[in-house]
Chains A and B, each alone.
Chain A
Amino acid sequence: MPELTYREAVRDALGKALREDDSVFIMGEDIAEMGGSMAVTQGLLDEFGPTRVRNTPISEMAIVGSGIGAAIQGMRPIVEIMYEDFLTISMEQLVNQAAKHRTMSGGQISVPLTIRTQGGAGWSPGAQHAQQLEAWFVHVPGLKVVFASTPEDARGLLWSAIYDDNPTVFFEHRTLYSIKGEVSDELQPIPLGKARIHREGSDVTVVATGRLVHESLQAAEEAEKDGISVEVVDPRTLLPLDEQTIVESVKKTARCVTAHEAVTRGGFGAELAAVIQHAAFDWLDAPIERVGAAFAPLAFAPGMEQWAVPHADDVLEAIRRTVARG
């Protein structure tokens, strides 16, 4: 099986869609000649030309708004928001327009728009270029929210996002672009709303997203040395959520840790914990532990940044708390 980086996997899905479907086009800040600030769209301008690979002014509101217009008109636009921090500027278009049109038009209009964005700490981008805001969008009916953690998932999920008739916010993680992973020869679409069990275990379930999937897998290996068997589940799609897979896993292990890089308070882990405690109340043998970032604007200083966001050892500690004795 071929191996791709996460970055290449995203590009592969974009290229295939552009190649096979004239209704697909991409636009965003510096995505054409420069190939995007994270080099995801490199080479696409050469292959598909400036009509289908378009630079935009620095206006996230305009980027999303024009994407909505094109989508309503029958296109399948993929727009890029350079940093997910800047999704906040496009909030009106995203929350009040994109998410609402299908319902408010009685189904006459659909908005098959994909909004790619990225974020995450680990390279000192400072407080305004490193947030993890996925939970904001899970709160908005009418949107779909995807957070891919591996090359294979990124490619297959992005494809499904492009071909979903609803506006989909597709989160990538800055520090995952360079990781490599095996992918199938041909792009295999991965349905939205389907979780992935990365590792099976019997003592505790870790439900992790984004970078924390990898940290959790590392924590699971450490825990294994102490005889603690950890199951790691990545929901991959946060909205809609594959509650069944997650709940079944927790019913099997009786303990659960949620893990994401976003701040703990009001994070997606809170939603997971609520879903799990309700559906698996009589199966829980310990309180659900949440792992996330400290509740503070992220520091620029590398040492402080590392302290603020969670790593494998934080997940491991949480795992140990759930199986604690005495």
Chain B
Amino acid sequence: MATEVKLPRLGQGMESGTIVRWLKTEGDAVSKGEPLYELDTDKVTQEVEADSDGVLLKIVISDGEVDVGTTVGIIGAQDEDVSALLADAQGGNGDAPAAAASEAPTAEDATPPQAEQQPAPPPSDTESQAEPSDTESQAEPSAPSEATEAPPARAEGERVKASPLARRIARERGVDLSLISGTGPEGRVIAEDVEKAAVQPAAPSAPAAAPEFEVVELTSTRKTIARRLTEAWQAPVFQLTVTADATELVATRERMVELMRESDTKPTVSDVLTRLVASALVRHPPVNANFVDGKLHRFSAANVGLAVAAPAGLVVPVIRDADRKSVQQIAADRADIVSRARDGKLALVDLEGGTFTISNLGMYGIEQFIAVLNPPQVAILAVGSIEDRPTAIDGEFAIVPTMAMTLTCDHRAIDGSEGAEFLRGVKAYVESPALAL
């Protein structure tokens, strides 16, 4: 019995995903648990496994954006007839890849499909032979209509129909064809359309040569970053900065390294800091919270997200229950998620449930910076470099390692005093890690 491979919901809030490529081809034997295809969600790219044994009989959707629950393939027995299943799947899917696009259908989309088919062949052989050339020379021209100024209604990623001449002119003048409504047959962009579009913005009298640039398509991850951080920018935020003496922090970490077992992951200063911040978080519930639909969700555990630069863009995998873990365990968790983040192997579950985020650019020598909120979290800590700096201690100059930390707070959820109390707590733990016990 053949089974449909449906796009799974891999995390809460996931509505769709983009199939990057299939790892199996039609006719391949697959067993349950084997990676079947690569799926790009708005957070990660991950391999989706087969959930039954058999032969991959049909790839229904080979790539592109697909809604959750859509049938993307069929697994069954060798030579099994899946046409009924396939018809159901395709009927049920509709025009699956395009269905994801929300644009209103164009007039052409609304045209019944029959309209594009050739007329039924005439009865006699002679006539039917005459058909192809006849069709070619007498194809119905579309009725001319006035060019409209409406933006082109194309599904995302849909190929722009444009004549070779239109393409050349667009290339030469740096016009983006995808922004032009074609007035040619079937919406084809023709030279005149490009010329009109090219002159619409007040053209400088002497057109400057456009600098060369490379067009980089946004990955799903990058699009998500753009969308979420733009959202975050709308929150009213304030920042608080403290500078902590990092002598004890560094010393504690060094002692831990000395005492670690050979099989242990070597803890970093950041790992120690994660543990200290987690302790501070559970003591300051206003900061360990999410702002959701006008309500605050305050958490009893500290799930600390770490901002990681992955090849596809920033990701924030989460160390769960960091307040209850040893630094050694945090180091092991951190090493695992960071390496998987860099390999693009994070699962959605790695990214969900964060209650707070730490962004550390100290390793780049950044002394101090301001992080942008990671919604729905209400605060994020930006950690700068630890360096020997001149400091006054008890009225004397001293050179000690110091570290600046800047807390960005969502003022809808946190008042200045609450943020300040939390940051003071963090500073105290950094300067005396034993207090976090």
Interface residues of A (CB under 8 A from B): 254, 263-265, 281-286, 289-297, 308, 310, 314, 317-318, 320-321, 324-326
Contact = CB atoms under 8 A, between A and B. Distances in A.
A296 B137 contact: no
B184 A296 contact: no
Contact of A325 (B129, B147, B163, B168): B147
Interface in B166-187: 166-168, 183-185
Interface stretch (B138-146, B338-346, B368-376): B138-146
A134 to B, nearest CB: 17
Nearest to A263: B133
B133 A326 contact: no
Contact of A295 (B132, B138, B145, B166): B132
B166 A285 contact: yes
Interface in B145-197: 145-147, 163-168, 183-185, 190-192
A286 B184 CA distance: 8
Contacts of A284: 163-165
Nearest to B137: A291
Interface of B: 126-127, 129-134, 136-139, 141-147, 163-168, 183-185, 190-192
Contact of B133 (A264, A281, A285, A324): A264
Contacts of B137: 264, 289-292, 310, 314, 317-318
Given A324-B142, A326-B142, A294 B130 contact: yes
A290 B136 contact: yes
13 contacts: A265-B132, A281-B164, A282-B164, A284-B165, A285-B163, A285-B164, A285-B165, A291-B137, A294-B130, A294-B134, A317-B138, A321-B141, A321-B185
CB-CB nearest 8 A-B residue pairs: A326-B145, A264-B133, A282-B168, A285-B165, A294-B130, A296-B130, A285-B163, A295-B133
Contacts of B183: 325-326
Contacts of B126: 296-297
A320 B143 CA distance: 11
A282 B167 CA distance: 8
Contacts of A295: 129-134
Q: Which of A293, A317, A318, A325 has the most C-beta atoms of chain B within 10 angstroms of its own C-beta?
A: A325
A293 B136 CA distance: 11
A291 B139 CA distance: 11
Given A254-B191, A293-B133, A324 B185 contact: yes
Given A321-B141, A325-B144, 6 more contacts: A264-B133, A265-B132, A282-B164, A290-B137, A321-B185, A326-B144
B184 to A, nearest CB: 7
A47 B352 CA distance: 104
B141 A320 contact: yes
Contacts of B143: 326
Contacts of B168: 282-283
Nearest to A257: B137
B219 to A, nearest CB: 32
Contacts of B144: 324-326
Contact of B163 (A286, A314, A318): A286
A305 to B, nearest CB: 13
B184 A292 contact: no
B164 A296 contact: no
A307 to B, nearest CB: 10
A285 B167 contact: no
Nearest to A265: B133
A206 to B, nearest CB: 13
A277 to B, nearest CB: 8
Contacts of B142: 324, 326
Contacts of A289: 137
Contact of A321 (B129, B139, B147, B167): B139
Contacts of B131: 295
A286 B163 CA distance: 6
Nearest to B162: A285
Contacts of A292: 133, 137
Nearest to B139: A321
A263 B132 CA distance: 11
Nearest to A310: B137
Contacts of A281: 164
Contacts of A290: 136-137
Contacts of B136: 264, 290
Contacts of A317: 137-138, 141
Contacts of A293: 133
Contacts of B191: 254, 285
A289 B139 CA distance: 10
B200 to A, nearest CB: 19
A291 B166 CA distance: 25
A284 B192 CA distance: 12
A318 B167 CA distance: 23
A263 B137 CA distance: 11
A264 B131 CA distance: 11
A318 B133 CA distance: 13
B196 to A, nearest CB: 13
Nearest to B125: A296
Contacts of B146: 326
A286 B167 CA distance: 12
Nearest to A277: B164
Contacts of B167: 282
A40 B263 CA distance: 105
A325 B184 contact: yes
Given A293-B133, A295-B130, A296-B127, A324 B164 contact: no
B186 to A, nearest CB: 9
B129 A254 contact: no
Contact of B141 (A254, A283, A314, A324): A324
A283 B165 contact: yes
A294 B185 contact: no
A314 B139 CA distance: 11
Contacts of B184: 285-286, 324-326
B29 to A, nearest CB: 45
A254 B165 contact: yes
A263 to B, nearest CB: 6
A297 B125 CA distance: 11
Nearest to B192: A285
Nearest to B138: A317
A314 B137 CA distance: 7
Q: Which of B127, B141, B147 has the most C-beta atoms of chain A within 10 angstroms of its own C-beta?
A: B141
B145 to A, nearest CB: 4
A310 B136 CA distance: 13
Nearest to B172: A282
Contacts of A326: 142-147, 183-185
Q: Which of A310, A318, A326 has the most C-beta atoms of chain B within 10 angstroms of its own C-beta?
A: A326
